Structure 1
Amino acid sequence: MIQGICFDLDGVLIHTDELHYLAWKGLADRLGVPFSREQGDRCRGVSRMQSLEIVLEHAGRAYSQEEKERFAQEKNEAYRAMLEALSPADVPEDVPPTLEELRRRGCRLALASGSKNAGLILARTGLGTYLDAAADGNHITRSKPDPEIFLTAAQMLGLPPERCAAVDDAVAGIQAGRAAGMVTVAIGDSAAHRAGDYDLERFGQLLDLFPGPGKEEGL
């Protein structure tokens, strides 16, 4: 019986991938480094410094650790400036009613995002009001596919990992959820790769999977 659901943020509860891409692209353009959409897609679900390595892979020169940390900070400042403009209107329309219904059915809900900007996003969009706990990049030392973020979220919910489901749009996130011992639910890119125990086309299909305590789980 699944009692808790742990959600990734970007690409699941809200879509800010384009903002990430624009912020990285702005840095790459300033440095004169080629940066493609394909590279941007590869930055999904990995840490900021891992993403920076992807951005710089065609740089044609090496950068010091100090320079890299400065570049990562520059990108994050640009990204956070874009996040300030977010509002509840930016949340996909099926997300709030689905979260409300899952809670009504007795499921405990948590964020499990590696983003250190998750708190700002939750505040700007109002998504935090639907969650019982929020684990983000400020609570962990290891990024997905390491299971730390999902294990932390389960602990915050007061549930064993095997009683939780991990919902993620990145293959690395699904790998992390599986390593944590959770049922994995893929959506978006990870679903296209058939990475999860369940692969969904729409967020609202979670209601078919998790009918609530005392009922048989669907699909």
Structure 2
Amino acid sequence: MTKDQPFRIVTYFPETTASWVVSDDEFSFTSPGPSLTGPNFFVAEEQLSMAGWSLQDLTGFFANQSIQRPSTYIASGLINTGTIPPTGATGGISASDVVIISDVPLTIDTSIQSAGFMAHDSDYMSIKFAQGVLVTQNLNAPIQMTVTDSWSYGSGEPTASEMLFCYRIFHIQKTDKLEGDSITFPEVRYVALGIAAEEPDYVYINRLRRSYELKQL
């Protein structure tokens, strides 16, 4: 029997900035950036290969999963031509920033932010981990945004999938519409710790079958 193998999984989503474009009446991300999915709703995707597990017929058991970030969310603005230093964005920007980790690909549309719940077709078991924050401008410090709500969910169930699908979802709202106002989302890092181990054949085969069925949805 293969000896249990401790693992550490790490992936990053880079810092990215979205600026308000008056002529388009929407935010636009710096390139390369996440794809536009709906009005001021964007999704970035990364994939983590777990082929090393599948080649050895191992299952990954998660012990701990977390989202880490090194800095704050920034809402800045440029007045007229931008010849003066940046100031806090006008009009009040708020945004949600959600990271979802799944072992099956998710449908990328505005309903992805509820993946794993009844409002979405995705099975709860396939969502291994998700974490989100809502940030809003602070009137006392309008450049640095304040986290006003946070949430997390996910099954944390083991996976025998050869791939993890990682999504970062941005939904931005703004009251006023001044050209050049922007929000910078900090880099975030997903870290998972656990053990890769063998399961009884019937359990492992059933897990693979379930994963395959979900990928066909």
TM-score by length of structure 2 reads: 0.27
TM-score by length of structure 1 reads: 0.27
Higher relative contact order (CA 8 A, sep 6+): 2
Higher strand share: 2
Compare CA radii of gyration and give the structure with the larger one.
2
Higher helix share: 1
